[in-house]
Amino acid sequence: MSGALTEVALDGGRSVVVKRADAPGAVRAEAAGLRWLADSGTVRVPAVRGHDHRWLVTDRVPAGTPTAGAAVRFGLDLAALHASGAPAFGAPPPGGTEDAYIGLAPMRNAPGGNWPRWYAEHRVLPYLRRAVDDGTVRPDEAAVVERVCARLPELAGPAEPPARLHGDLWNGNVLWSADGHAWLIDPAAHGGHRETDLAMLHLFGCPHLDAVLDGYQQAAPLADGWRERLGVHQLFPLLVHAVLFGRGYAEQAVAAARAALTN
């Protein structure tokens, strides 16, 4: 969920962040996502102190500097988060909604049992169709992405159980605190494929990313070929960004699709 942020100092010295959302259901979805991540007992997230249909209040995370040690710990914690699981691909957090958001874009959490089919139907094609309708993606380019969707059963790698995902894991949603830990904010949490969170970290960059991956692989080694599958998982965030921000991201999405077809 994206929205206006305000930091407020409470009596007693605690600072909280107050966030406003204009989209119906966005606050409920984010609050449920934060609680679902916290309930796993794995990653650090700011506690939800209150919310209504428009306002969300969470603890403030004291700012710090990312270190290699903190990055390794983050990788270990992220692997544990994913391993805590979800009822199904596309499952929303308990208390969340099927109609959720990733940033300012609507995102539907409709459960499915087959990741390639679910990913195509609910994470790639809705944004591709909107981008085509908006003129951001040309029809011949859309056909390339559609070919990837058709071949997902062979491109997806070994079957994996549904993982508990942050869902919008770009660098801006990872805060490095003064106590030497990574904290996660602004989730678009749902059940998904664990490589999707990692692909988003790769796409938009992350301090000490190699150390994050070292920690992750120590706890939960990734299946062979995961690096070659990054582009498949990046189609989702790239098409979301194409819908929100325009042609440059559409070109990146088409390039990722073409690369996936040649791997």
- N-to-C CA span, the chain: 34
Topology (CATH level 3) of domain 63-262: Aminoglycoside 3'-phosphotransferase; Chain: A, domain 2 (3.90.1200)
pLDDT value, residue 18: 86
pLDDT value, residue 14: 77
Phi-psi region of 171 (alpha: psi -120 to 50; beta: other; left: phi over 0): alpha
| 117: CB partners within 8 A, 6+ apart | 152
Distance separating alpha carbons of residues 138 and 118, to the nearest angstrom: 24
pLDDT value, residue 17: 86
pLDDT value, residue 144: 98
DSSP 8-state symbol, 156: S
Distance separating alpha carbons of residues 220 and 63, to the nearest angstrom: 29
Phi-psi region of 92 (alpha: psi -120 to 50; beta: other; left: phi over 0): beta
pLDDT value, residue 202: 96
Which residues are annotated as catalytic? 168
Residue 161 near residue 220, CB atoms below 8 Å: no
| Structure token pair of residue 154 | 């062979």
Q: Provide the 3-class DSSP secondary structure of residue 167.
A: coil
Walking along the chain (263 residues) 10 residues at a time, the average pLDDT comes out as 64 78 83 96 94 86 92 98 98 94 93 96 98 97 98 97 97 92 96 98 94 98 97 98 97 97 88
Q: Enumerate the domain spans of the chain.
A: 63-262
pLDDT value, residue 25: 81
pLDDT value, residue 206: 93
SS3 readout for 89-155: ECCCCCCCCCEEEECCEEEECCCECCHHHHHHHHHHHHHHHHHHHCCCCCHHHHHHHHHHHHCHHHH
pLDDT value, residue 121: 98
Distance separating alpha carbons of residues 190 and 107, to the nearest angstrom: 10
